[in-house]
Amino acid sequence: MRIVLAILCVVLFGVVAVTASGSAPLAAAPVLPPRYTPMPAVATTSPDIGDRSARTYVRLWGMFALPIEGADIPQDPELLPGAPRDYRGGIHEGIDFPAPTGTPVLAAASGTVARVDVSFLDWNREQQDIALYEAITLGYTPAATLDRIRGRQVWIDHGKGLITRYAHLSAVEPLIVGQRIEAGALVGEVGSSGYPQGGPHLHFEVRLGDDFYGDGLSGDLLVRAVSRLFR
């Protein structure tokens, strides 16, 4: 009798086990948290940037006078092109010269005035917050936002797609777009317009068409390339 019961138990157990495994519902797929928006592959460099940069960059060596008389040429990577700017989800495109508000800013080379923000209205903190939030969400800085961050500006066109930009100015000279300007002429004064949180400094930017000088360089090569710009 015991043997019969034992066999019965084993058979029953087997049936139950097979039934259970056969009818077990599929485990629900785990719910993953939403992923952050990845930074898009912004085409800041082209495949031939190495050769093109080298040729173009060397052509500019010694071309500029310092835009602030007696200033040290920045070497801190944070002040140079390519430095990350996490507060706006982007990268730095110029050379920063820290200096007190009101310090004279000079044309780094002769050229033609391409932009001068004579009547300039800075954005307020709320507008800035909204734009920076959007930039961080996007993972890059929209061009219009970047322009507002640069604040009051003067641009000088040196021909052949070469333009220098002087940004965050507290004041500008009464220049006129299209007028000739000589190297060393006063263009404005150092300030912190557009992004007061950065403190007073001159953001000096060298544009080569759509690109900026220093793009594609890093480390010692970048430091040397920036130093070589100035005579």
Kindly tell me which residue out of 96, 117, 173, 215 binds Zn ion, with binding defined by CB under 5 A: 96
Q: State which residue, 152 or 203, has the beta carbon closest to Zn ion.
A: 203
Cα distances (angstroms) measured from residue 222 to each of 49, 176, 207: 14, 34, 16
Minimum CB–partner distance for residue 29 and Zn ion (Å): 47
Q: State which residue, 98 or 110, has the beta carbon closest to Zn ion.
A: 98
Count of residues interacting with Zn ion (CB under 5 A): 3
Q: Which stretch binds Zn ion (CB under 5 A): 60-68, 92-100, 158-166, 217-225?
A: 92-100
Q: State which residue, 96 or 189, has the beta carbon closest to Zn ion.
A: 96
In sequence order, what are the residues at sequence separation of 6 or more whose Cβ sits closer than 8 angstroms to the Cβ of residue 202?
67, 68, 96, 97, 99, 103, 105, 166, 167, 168, 169, 190
Q: Which residue of this chain has its Cβ atom nearest to Zn ion in the complex?
A: 203
In terms of C-beta distances under 8 Å and separation of at least 24 residues, what long-range contacts does 219-224 make, across chains too? 222/77, 222/80, 222/81, 222/82, 223/75, 223/77, 223/80
- Binding to Zn ion (CB under 5 A) within 184-213 occurs at 203
Q: Which residues bind Zn ion (CB under 5 A)?
A: 94, 96, 203
